[in-house]
Amino acid sequence: MGHSPVKRNTKNDLFVRAARGERTPLTPIWLMRQAGRTDPEYVKLKDRAGLPLERLFRHPELAAEISLLPRRIGVDAIIFFQDILIPLAPMGAEFVFAPGPVLSERLDADALSRLHIYDVGAELPFVPETFRLIRHSLDHALPVLGFAGAPLTLAMYLIEGQGVGDQADKALSLVAEQPHALRDLLNKLTTLTIDYLKMQIEAGAAAVQLFESLAHLLSADIYREFALPYQQQVFDALKGLAPTILFARKWSDLEMLHASGADILSLGCETTIAGARDRLGRDRILQGNLDNKLLAYGTLVDITDAARGCVISGGQRGHIFNLSHGLLRETPFENVVHLIKVVHETTI
């Protein structure tokens, strides 16, 4: 299957308009992890560079080149190539990727308490430089998105010391046994996250997304006490600077998502866009929400039907098409190209 052509030097404002809640002639689409492992051009570039991921993220020229790869298949926004854990290194917690994230030195309770906030501009200069290179290459043709990990998700990675799958026993034990220590850590991470996202907005991010990537491991009580208040602080600090998006993995409590204060809610596949608006209000701006497993394992017919249903559910008004979670490594690239084509061809 050939790649969809993209008009060059033509401003595409579909994402920006949808993020304002406007009706759009087409539903804009971008995909979490769109610049990465499912793209054969990314694999070639990474092999050619010969660098570990933690160095790729800190290499503005290569990170910008990777970020821009999805442009050729017709996405309506570019998200910069980075990992949510990289900003933790200047705090005193550096993750390396082998291939999943692992702390270079494990942190005990005392070490966690010594983690410190820092000047993001001085310590992370590669981030605004990556934005500069991306925006220069795009010449305003597409919006560029920024992102950060949510404070509780970052804290859980720090406590576990490695990538987190379907359990996080150490982190959840700290929640129960040392809630005051956890709150101290969350306060530092909230300050860092606010500073980090403000820097991205100043560098030209058209919108920023907060990833509560480990929400699926939390009880409602833990989410309410240790995730939500810190999300609220982040979004309150960014209010009016740029549109904000909340993604909470497999979190189906729509009212709790709404309470975060995010301008846009990125939904899992537990409900439809129209169904969420029935509960939250017809003008709620939403992102999502095709099942990422369907995209990886489904037939093209199944993907087409689900994508069209999602576009119709969103009504081409205040709806940004995305997945329930990031692209899975095993997702066929031709499925990604097909999805983008179907979304753009489906109109109401």
Q: Would you name the residues annotated as active-site residues?
A: 33, 37, 48, 83, 157
Residue with tokens 């759009």: 24
> Please, are residues 315 and 348 in contact by the beta-carbon 8 Å criterion?
yes
Residue 220: helix, strand or coil by DSSP? helix
What distances in angstroms separate CA 90 from CA 42, 57, 121, 184, 187, one per listed residue?
27, 14, 11, 18, 16
Q: Would the CA dihedral through 135, 84, 30, 74 be positive or negative?
A: positive
Cα–Cα distance for residue pair 120/153, rounded to 1 Å:
19
Give, rounded to a whole angstrom, the gap between the first and last alpha carbons of the chain: 26
Of all helices (H) and strands (E), which one includes residue 266? Answer: strand 264-266
Contact status, residue 80 vs residue 134, Cβ threshold 8 Å: yes
Residue 160 vs residues 89, 104, 278: alpha-carbon distances, Å: 15, 12, 38
Q: Tokens 């998700």 correspond to what residue?
A: 153
Task: Give every CB contact of residue 177 below 8 A, 6+ residues apart in sequence.
Answer: none
- Report helix, strand or coil for 265: strand
Query: Helix, strand, or coil here: 241?
Result: coil
- Give the burial string for 42-69 (b: 16+ CB within 10 Å, else e): beeebeeeeeebbebbbbbebbbbbbbb
Q: Can you tell me whether residue 267 is helix, strand or coil? A: coil
Which residue, among 60, 52, 50, has the nearest Cα to 81 in the 3D structure? 60
